[in-house]
A = this chain, B = another copy of it.
Amino acid sequence: MKNYTSINDIDNINSWIEEAKKIKANPLANKGLGKDKTLGLLFFNSSLRTRLSTQKAALNLGMNPIVMNVSGDAWGIEFGDGTVMNGNTAEHIKEAAAVVSQYCDIIAVRAFPSLTDKEKDESEHVLKSFVKFASVPIVSMESATGHPLQGLTDAITISENTTKKKPRVVLSWAPHIKTLPHAVGNSFVEAMQKMDVDFVITNPEGYNLSPEITKNTPIFHNQSAAFRNADFVYTKNWSSYDDYGKILKVDKDWMITKDKIGDAKFMHCLPVRRNVVVEDAVLNSDSSLVIEQANNRTFAAQLVLKKILESL
């Protein structure tokens, strides 16, 4: 595998899940694989789980992680082609990506969308520029339109926790006060579409994700209908896709409660705003898988890094 920038880079999700479980059972088994190899972690945005779990994964493989907060530690980066750089950006991605490739055997990048310019966000200009101009493999630690390490994590977590051959999995939109990206929702949809699950999405009208992502997945605008017989309720807020980046007027009834989801397992990528997205009673209950999801972030990242290291 060269790069890991999308759930579509997973050739066989079931075999990936099985391999991730083996890594989880014995995380240090491949500690020689990354010896004297460096992972550069470049953050254009904040990160807690991704920052720590990806470093941990690298350490488990014997790699040396080097972390950089691009904005604070270095220079403003220019992505435009042919730009006369007499503004705020001091280094072009052509140089930046090529230069970092001199020091790192793999580069992991986090770059959130603007949520103001749909076309630019969907072009994935930051992530794709790294892929284009770096000479080493690129791993997405969440880009404008996807969070494939999270999506892989979620697939692993559902596989570990299901008691049925084909569980019913519901992705539910929930309220939030900030304008949030579609990346986690998108990658979760793509991951579920690859798995043998009964998968539906529920969100208010106006909040449908991109039809190029959702494809034939059923979308319910009635949350309680969607939750019927749910085994897993995956929750996430996102801003409107159609009215791009907007928070539409929507009542707070979409918050996830214990009453609504019953015995279904609750999942969320975190961070989560308590009593806005989901009530305390759900997060504090045994039905919540959020901490196990966080734990599995390490093994998803470790699987991806392992596959890349093996093909270097």
- A→B interface (CB under 8 Å): 28, 31, 36, 38, 40, 43, 46-49, 51-53, 55-56, 59-60, 64, 66, 68-69, 72-75, 78, 82-86, 90-92, 94-96, 98-100, 102-104, 177-178, 270-276, 280, 283-284, 290-291, 294-295, 297-298
**Known A48-B74, A91-B48, A91-B271: A99·B66 in contact at CB below 8 Å:** no
- Residues on B with C-beta less than 8 A from A86 are 177, 273, 276
Are B98 and A294 interface neighbours, CB within 8 A? yes
Give Cα A169–Cα B86 distance, bound, in whole angstroms.
28
Are A74 and B91 interface neighbours, CB within 8 A? no
CB distance from A68 to the nearest CB of B (A): 7
Are A90 and B271 interface neighbours, CB within 8 A? yes
Q: Which residue of B lies closest to A91 (CB)?
A: B271
Most buried by B among A47, A100, A272, A294: A294
Are B73 and A47 interface neighbours, CB within 8 A? yes
- Residues on B with C-beta less than 8 A from A99 are 48-49, 52, 270, 291, 294
Are A102 and B53 interface neighbours, CB within 8 A? yes
**Pick the contact of A68 from B52, B53, B84, B177 — CB < 8 Å?**
B52
Are B298 and A94 interface neighbours, CB within 8 A? no
Q: Which residue of B lies closest to A268 (CB)?
A: B95
- Residues on B with C-beta less than 8 A from A47 are 73-74
Could you list 11 A-B pairs, sorted by A, with CB under 8 Å? A48-B91, A48-B99, A52-B103, A53-B102, A53-B103, A55-B103, A84-B275, A90-B271, A91-B271, A94-B284, A102-B295
- Residues on B with C-beta less than 8 A from A272 are 91-92, 95
Are B270 and A56 interface neighbours, CB within 8 A? no
Give Cα A283–Cα B103 distance, bound, in whole angstroms.
20
Q: Which residue of B lies closest to A297 (CB)?
A: B102
Are A28 and B36 interface neighbours, CB within 8 A? yes
Are B69 and A72 interface neighbours, CB within 8 A? yes
- Residues on B with C-beta less than 8 A from A90 are 178, 271, 273
**Pick the contact of A82 from B178, B280, B291 — CB < 8 Å?**
B280
Are B38 and A59 interface neighbours, CB within 8 A? yes
Q: Which residue of B lies closest to A177 (CB)?
A: B86
Q: Which residue of B lies closest to A74 (CB)?
A: B48
Give Cα A19–Cα B46 distance, bound, in whole angstroms.
40
Give Cα A241–Cα B135 distance, bound, in whole angstroms.
39
Are A103 and B298 interface neighbours, CB within 8 A? yes
Give Cα A280–Cα B49 distance, bound, in whole angstroms.
39
